[in-house]
A and B are shown apart, each in its own frame.
Chain A
Amino acid sequence: MFVIMQRELAMYFRSLLVYGLGFFFLLMTGVTFFFVVNALQGQSSEYSVTQFFFQIPFLWFAQLIIMPLLTMRVFSEEYRLGTFEGLMTAPVTEWDAVLGKFLACLVVYAALLAPTVLYVPILRLILLDNTPLENGPVWAVYWIYLLWGTFYGAIGVFASAITRSQLLSFITSFAISCVFFFVGFVIYFEPPGWLRLLGHYISAYEHLDLAAQGLLSTQQPVFYLSVAVLFLLMAQQFILNRRGRS
């Protein structure tokens, strides 16, 4: 598994896609952060700059797009280039292949996000005073981002495992991710009973909103990780069957 992960990582960091994606993502988040700070300049607010920053819709969409972009090639390209059979003749299990590629995507995703962790310490350094910038909500948001990365990454790996077209893989992965993301907005239509509870439970926006305010729950890792495992299992089973046929 780690051999595959290393091979994938080497491939990612040689590919211009990651640097292009990283440049665009960090440029946009940097501009967003700057404008949030500028907008809050001199104002008294109950919410810290980090709470405003992490609730900017651009950041949600970035999360929804990054993982499909990173994962679209993991199996699709192997199918297209015909290297999948070669991979399967190597002494690796389907789980090694799935998890190796998935973890590589997750590492790249974390590497893309990592520079944004510096924003608050940089602001603190520039301010040179004791302006309260809460650390708790910042770590909570990055925890949610990591869970999102795991979740959307697993969906992306599954989407890539079922098709040889990278474009189709991207569209499938993005569509499933969007469904999971936007279905949580049902709570704002005041649905009855169990639907409302379900909406609150799976609402990605609410998870981020609460985390940005400083509240985490054990529900979130259970939901994201369990569903991520399910998608990885489906990807593994798909590859198992494909290997059996070939």
Chain B
Amino acid sequence: MSKAKSLASPKQNLAQNSFAASIATILAACLLVLAVNYLSARHFKTFDLTLTRDFTLSDRTLNFVGSLEQPVSITVFGSPPAFAENYLRRILPLYERASRGKITTAFVDPDAPEDKQSALRLVKEFDLSMQEDLLLISTGERRAILRVDELYEMSPPDFMTGTPRRVTAWLGEELISSRLLELLTQEKPVIYFLEGHAEGDWRDRDSDRGWGEAASRIEREYFEVRGLSLIIHSDVPEDASLLVIAGPRNSLLPSEAEALSRYLDRGGRVLCALDWDRDAGLDGILLERGIRVREHKLLGGISQILGGVEVRQFGSTVPILDKEFPDHPMLRTLRLNTILLPNLRALEVIQPQRSGWQASPLLKAPQAFWGESGEWDENTTFDEDEDIPGPVTVAAVAVGPANARLVVFGGALAFDNKNILNQLGAAELWSNAVSWLTERESLMGIGPKQARDFRLRLDAVQMGTLFVVVVVLIPGAVLAWGIITWLQRRS
């Protein structure tokens, strides 16, 4: 080698040195580029150029999340619809950045083989019982769950124009930030289940009649559930965020009804699911607040043509269609076209006797269902003298002074262990009712972010003009310029 080197001309030596210097320069530049990009990946700024500031968290969230001291984990569990996943992939990194690494986020799809282990761990850790798209939030020993479909509101479908449902507002930041604030700074809100009247047992997760599944669904949403006897306690406790009356089969005593009335007067929240054929002794309280409980049971049927033969499906399970939903926050986030509720009794919304109260129907059965006054079998038909014609109200809401809220369902079976996971929409309706009653979404006071709605309406002339300009004129001008240039060169 030394001989070869000595034989090389000065010009060759110069070239070799120059080549080595180039390699060194390029290597040094590579290292510099790596260092600059490493720093850039860790320290960067983003710019939100959208009209609706889609990529910007509110100041309240930024201040709160920026001051986090303990680590928080947010996991998207399941496989949400593409638009919801896009939204979460857009918003969750904002939380990560704002928290300076205190918040970590992940997406776990239990159906993906690589996520199986993580999914099993989360199912155990969060006591998950059915396949849903969820947001699992945990910090230390504290855990909470949000349903992904709670994060957005949808418009009702327009059957006249065939317009499908679309997202009208995003509630994600409001709900995630509120739940984080609650998880990190507050004790669990307490929900009481009334006891002593053969209600559905909130501790019972095994029998069909139990309400254990309903209770566990709200427990995992960072609530504490307790039983309450108004025979032992003369009043609903001060710390009650909500009182649930889960289908009592025996009447409440007058003193209990009075305690309930006092609770509502001081701004209490009550969710009342009535048994369809038992008197709960609540008629007076509800009547004063604009909701009359009728004894009529919902019956009816929907006719379908199957194989050219009309088949009448008759029964007491009522399908409630989303086209009949009123515009209520409790229903805006429901994704299903139909909710199935079994064994309902008729309700009626009337003028409240108490001042300051306002009642309105929440759910109405389809026209084909009526309120049956007597005993029934499969041959029973509507009797216009005795029965209540459809559409019949089967759930109602009332709001009163001091921000009191009351939700009454004309049936309780939908939320028991047998039905809550099996009847279409029952679980979502239950969770939404609890969320609306406890008013958790307003903890941060951020409010929903309106979803953007772009519509283009061009007539044939406008479309023609667009075609001529963008497809003919613009490329044509470039082609003409090229031809002129070519001709000039030739001449």
Contacts and interface: CB of A to CB of B under 8 A. Distances in A.
Interface of A: 13-14, 16, 18-20, 22-24, 26-27, 30-31, 33-34, 37-38, 40-49, 115, 118-119, 122-123, 126-127, 131-134, 136-137, 139-140, 190, 197, 201, 213-219, 222-223, 226-227, 229-230, 233-234, 237-238, 240-241, 244-245
A13 to B, nearest CB: 7
Interface in B148-163: 163
Given A42-B457, A122-B470, A213 B50 contact: yes
Contacts of A134: 49-51
Given A42-B457, A134-B51, A201-B41, A26 B475 contact: yes
Contact of B469 (A38, A122, A201): A122
Interface in B5-32: 14-15, 18-19, 22, 25-26, 29-30
Given A126-B462, A230-B29, A217 B54 contact: no
Interface stretch (B253-261, B301-309, B417-425, B448-456): B448-456
Interface stretch (B227-235, B343-351, B385-393, B479-487): B479-487
B478 A23 contact: yes
B155 to A, nearest CB: 8
A44 B458 contact: no
Contacts of A190: 112, 114
Most buried by B among A41, A44, A45, A48: A44
| Interface residue SS majority, chain A | helix
A223 B40 contact: yes
A26 B469 CA distance: 11
Q: Report the interface size class on chain B.
A: 35 or more
Given A14-B485, A213-B90, A215-B49, A46 B454 contact: yes
Contacts of B44: 217-219, 222
Nearest to B36: A226
A30 B475 contact: yes
Given A16-B482, A214-B49, A230-B26, 9 more contacts: A23-B475, A47-B452, A49-B456, A126-B466, A132-B454, A136-B49, A213-B50, A213-B55, A222-B44
A241 B48 CA distance: 45
Given A26-B475, A38-B463, A218-B45, A19 B481 contact: yes
B46 interface: yes
Nearest to B170: A46
| Interface residue SS majority, chain B | helix
A217 B14 contact: no
Given A16-B486, A46-B451, A240 B22 contact: yes
B474 interface: yes
B50 A201 contact: no
Contacts of B33: 226-227, 229-230
Given A219-B40, A245-B15, A136 B475 contact: no
Given A30-B474, A241-B22, A46 B48 contact: no
A230 B30 contact: yes
B166 to A, nearest CB: 6
A45 B463 contact: no
A34 B90 contact: no
B3 interface: no
Contacts of B457: 41-42, 127, 131
B489 interface: yes
B482 A22 contact: yes
Nearest to A50: B454
B49 A34 contact: no
Contacts of B83: 46
Top 3 nearest A-B pairs (CB, nearest first) are: A19-B482, A136-B49, A214-B50
Contact of B455 (A44, A126, A237): A44
A34 B458 CA distance: 12
A5 B8 CA distance: 39
Nearest to A211: B49
A170 to B, nearest CB: 21
Contacts of B454: 40, 44-49, 131-133
12 contacts: A20-B482, A23-B482, A44-B454, A49-B456, A136-B51, A213-B90, A214-B48, A214-B50, A214-B55, A215-B55, A226-B37, A227-B33
A222 B36 contact: yes
